Amino acid sequence: MAEAKHAEEGMRTHENVIFSCYGGFSNTGITSALACLEAVKELGLEKAAIGCLAALPLGIKPVIGKAAAAQRIVTVDGCPSECARKTVEQANLSLTTSIVLTRDIDMKKKPLHEDIGQGVRGVMEYISDDEVKRAKELIIKAISDGAN
Ligand code: SF4
């Protein structure tokens, strides 16, 4: 019974739900995750939250319900594999905006395993503050434009 309530469209929830691909194997996926979190910190939780991407193909009803009840859904993917967009679409959720960092802020993907054994650095040394900021601004713009 409680689960059914979670799945109702029109329920009070975050206005926008962002789904991040969050692939930790590369700079692009990590940047996506960090940018989404920065966007939520700036917008506040009434305006936006990050949805649980892995819950969608598992059919976790409270997550699907909250996403369906949101006014807008934005996906943020690091690379052209577009894992977040495809996962959201396969869950039959209505996507408002898709952001792909390699396409939309011209990020170059760096698989982090490549440096193992030949000078691998600390994880944050692969992350550019400027790219996180540009990605965050794009997410905020997508949400603000959608609000008009
Ligand atoms: S979209 Fe690219 S970076 Fe993101 S999880 Fe998928 S493969 Fe990794």
Residue-level pLDDT at 10 = 58
Within 6 A (CB) of ligand 1 lie 21, 23, 26, 28-29, 77-79, 81-83
Categorise residue 8: left if φ over 0, alpha if ψ from -120 to 50, beta otherwise. Answer: beta
For the CA of 23, the closest atom of ligand 1 is: 5
pLDDT in the model for residue 145 = 86
Phi/psi region, residue 49 (left: phi>0; alpha: psi -120 to 50; beta: rest), is beta
CATH class of residue range 2-109+122-143:
alpha beta
For ligand 1, the distance from its centroid to the CA atom of residue 36, given in whole angstroms, is 14
User: pTM for the whole thing?
Assistant: 0.92
Pocket probe mutation, ligand 1, options 19, 83, 98, 113, max atoms within 8 Å of Cβ: 83
Residues of the chain with pLDDT under 70: 1-11, 146-148
pLDDT value for 12: 82
- Within 10 Å of residue 25's Cβ, how many Cβ atoms? 13
Segments making up each domain of the chain, as ranges:
2-109+122-143
Task: Report the pLDDT value the prediction gives residue 46, as an integer from 0 to 100.
Answer: 96
What DSSP designation does 60 have?
-
Q: How far apart are the CA of 25 and the centre of ligand 1, in A?
A: 8
Closest listed residue to residue 76, CA positions, set 111, 33, 43: 33
pLDDT score recorded for residue 147: 64
